[in-house]
Amino acid sequence: MNIGFIGIGVMGGPMVLNLMKKGHEVSIYTRTKAKAEPIIAAGAKWCDSVAEAAKNRDAVITIVGYPKDVEEVYFGEGGIIANAAPNCILIDMTTTSPKLSQRIYEEAKQKGLQALDAPVSGGDVGAQKGTLAIMVGGDKDAFDKMVPVFEAMGTNIRYQGGVGNGQHTKMANQIAISGCVAAVAEAVAYCKACGLNPQDMFNAVSTGAAGSWQLTNNGQKMIDGNFAPGFYVKHFIKDMGIALEEADARDLSLDVLRMVFDKYNDLAAIGGNDLGTQAILKVIEKHDL
């Protein structure tokens, strides 16, 4: 397919490479062209604007940072909806508000377009390996048409129902991660406080009932002192905030999520926004960055 792709970051860059490996023609746009140079060198076509990236495509994919960024690229005269070709399918893979996904869907429909919300899980490793979990909401016929596109980027592709349901599923994913990553950090901190070798602990428990993706991946990074971002703290804070807002709207109390949300805001306050989520260890151990 002829695909426009907007947002060439930690996740977007590898996703574009995997699309091209499967034979899709990909035209890209991101705010800072220099960051996209390796992807351009690999064969992606550069566009000078969102509008250019959206024109005459079979599908347009976005994966940007925040809801305000999603609004910026979709709406207005220079946005995707105003410039996409008839029958183009719009796929927002950003983790964002279900309400915003609904707005994109409705405005796209007025222009003869279909829109899917399709957030992902699996971090930079999943993006690089093409093994992302992809949670999709929207019209089933649009989903069916885009399955080959999703299969280029992920291995666990699940249709979740109507518009917004992809985002709600991702919120559930982030809620589950929040407690898990915090608990892994507490386990590492406990080992250190007790004079144990954290690596020995990891080797002992990682294949037992405590085993998880967070333990295997972020737990090892904590032990190694590697706090480089596979998924940014600032983006996790954004996601947890959306989940709390949606929970509050349903009079649902998510106490563990709120506690972890507060911990990450403490981490952000000491300069941790651009670190990986495993850096929560720093707050739990009460260390400076």
User: By C-alpha distance, which of 138, 72, 77 is closest to 106?
Assistant: 138
User: C-alpha angle 141/166/228, rounded to 5°?
Assistant: 130
Q: Nearest-CA neighbor of 200 among 209, 212, 213, 187?
A: 187
Contact 176, 154 (CB under 8 A): no
What is the C-alpha to C-alpha distance for residues 228 and 281, in angstroms, rounded to an integer?
13
**Does the annotation count 170 as an active-site position?**
yes
Cα gap 114→112, rounded to integer Å: 7
Query: Which DSSP state fits 79?
Result: S
Is 97 within 8 Å of 77 (Cβ atoms)?
Answer: no
Q: Are strands 132-137 and 120-121 parallel, antiparallel or unpaired?
A: antiparallel
Task: Calculate ∠ Cα 270-275-279, nearest 5°.
Answer: 75
Three-class SS of residue 253? Answer: coil
Q: Which of the following is catalytic: 55, 99, 170, 238? A: 170
The set of residues, in sequence order, having a beta carbon less than 8 Å from that of 75 and lying 6+ positions away, is 81, 82, 107
Tokens coding 236: 């996790």
**What are φ and ψ of residue 164, in 5° steps?**
90, -20
For residue 116, the 8-state DSSP code is E
- 3-class SS at 87? coil
Asked if 77 contacts 104 with a C-beta cutoff of 8 angstroms, the reply is no
Active site residue ranges: 170
